[in-house]
Chain A
Amino acid sequence: MKNIKIEVKDLSLYYGEKKALKEISLEIPRNKVTALIGPSGCGKSTFLRCINRMNDLIPDVKITGQMLVEGIDIYDKNVDVVNIRKKIGMVFQKSNPFPKSIYENIAYGPKINGIKDKNELDEIVETSLRQAAIWDEVKDRLGDSAMGLSGGQQQRLCIARTLAVSPDIILMDEPASALDPISTSKIEELVHELKEQYTIIIVTHNMQQAARTSDYTAFFYLGELIEIGKTNAIFTKPEQKQTEDYITGRFG
Chain B
Amino acid sequence: MNSQFPINQNFTKESLKKQFRLSEFLAEKIISSVAFLSITIIVLIFVFVFKESLPIFNFGKSDAAKTEITTDSKPESYGSTPTEELKPETYGAEPAAKGELKPETYGSEPVTQEDLKPETYGDVKAEPTVESTSNETPEAVSENKEGADKTWSTFFTTEWVPVSEHPRFGLIALLVGTLKVTIIAMLIAGPLAILAALYTSCFASKRTKEIIKPIIEMLAAFPSVVIGFFALMVLATFFQDIFGYDSRLNAFIGGVAMALAAIPIIYTISEDALSAVPKTYTEASLALGASKWQTAFFVTLPAATPGIFAALLLGIGRVFGETMIALMATGNAALLSANPFESVRTFAATIGAEMAETVFGETHYSVLFFIGSLLFIFSFALNAVAEFYVKGKLIKKFQGK
Contact = CB atoms under 8 A, between A and B. Distances in A.
B4 interface: yes
A128 B233 CA distance: 72
Contacts of B10: 70, 168
Nearest to B21: A82
A110 B2 CA distance: 13
Contact of A197 (B1, B7, B12, B21): B1
B22 interface: no
A237 interface: no
Given A123-B4, A166-B2, A82 B19 contact: yes
A80 B17 contact: yes
B291 interface: no
Contacts of A127: 2, 4
Q: Is the interface of B mostly helix, strand, loop or mixed?
A: loop
Nearest to A167: B8
B15 interface: yes
Contacts of B4: 120, 123-124, 127
B2 A168 contact: no
Contacts of B18: 77-80
A165 interface: yes
Nearest to B6: A115
A238 to B, nearest CB: 32
Chain B contact patch, size range: 10 to 19
Contacts of A110: 5, 7
Chain A contact patch, size range: 20 to 34
Contacts of B6: 115
B16 interface: yes
Contacts of B11: 69-72, 87, 168
A197 B1 CA distance: 7
B13 interface: yes
Contact of A83 (B1, B2, B19): B19
- Max count, chain A CB within 10 A of own CB: residue among B8, B12, B21: B8
A90 interface: no
A124 B13 CA distance: 27
Contacts of B5: 110, 124, 166
A127 B5 CA distance: 10
Contact of A87 (B1, B2, B8): B8
Interface string A57-84: 0000000000001111010011110111
Given A87-B8, A123-B4, A168-B8, 7 more contacts: A70-B11, A70-B12, A79-B16, A80-B19, A110-B7, A165-B7, A166-B2
The 5 closest A-B pairs by CB, nearest first: A70-B11, A166-B5, A166-B8, A166-B2, A80-B18
8 contacts: A70-B10, A80-B17, A83-B15, A87-B8, A110-B7, A165-B7, A166-B5, A168-B11
Interface of B: 1-2, 4-8, 10-13, 15-19, 21
